[in-house]
Chain A
Amino acid sequence: MPIIGTQASQISGHLLTPNNFESISTTTLSSTASDVTFSSIPGTYKHLQIRVMASAVSGNQDGLMQFNGDTGTNYSYHFLYGSGAGSGSAGAATTQSYMLMSNNFYTTGTSLCGVAVIDILDYTNTNKYKTMRSLAGVDMNGSGSMNLCSGNWRNTAAITSIKLYPAGSTINTYSSYALYGVK
Chain B
Amino acid sequence: MAAGPTYTSIASNTLTSTAASITFSSISGTYTDLILAASHGSSSASNTYVRFNGVTGAYYSLTQLVGTGTASMSSRESGLTAFRIDNYAAAFTTIENSYIIQIQNYSNTTTYKSVLARCNATQQGLEATVGLWRGSTGSSTEAITSITYYPGGGSWLVGSYFALYGIKAA
Contact = CB atoms under 8 A, between A and B. Distances in A.
Contacts, number: 234
Contacts of A3: 11, 23-26
A14 B11 CA distance: 9
Interface string A1-25: 1111111101111111011111111
Given A7-B16, A53-B114, A2 B169 contact: no
Contact of B112 (A40, A111, A142, A146): A111
Contacts of B134: 141
Contact of B6 (A5, A11, A21, A139): A21
The B interface is mostly helix, strand or loop, or mixed, namely strand
Interface string A113-141: 11111000000000000000001111111
A8 B15 CA distance: 10
A82 B64 contact: yes
B146 to A, nearest CB: 9
B3 A181 contact: yes
Contacts of B17: 7
A58 interface: no
Interface residues of B, number: 70
Interface residues of A, number: 67
A84 interface: yes
A79 to B, nearest CB: 10
20 contacts: A2-B27, A2-B28, A7-B15, A7-B17, A10-B16, A13-B161, A26-B32, A41-B1, A51-B33, A80-B65, A82-B65, A82-B74, A84-B63, A86-B73, A110-B110, A111-B111, A113-B114, A139-B61, A146-B128, A174-B108
Interface of A: 1-8, 10-16, 18-26, 40-42, 51-53, 80-89, 110-117, 135-148, 174, 176, 178, 180-181
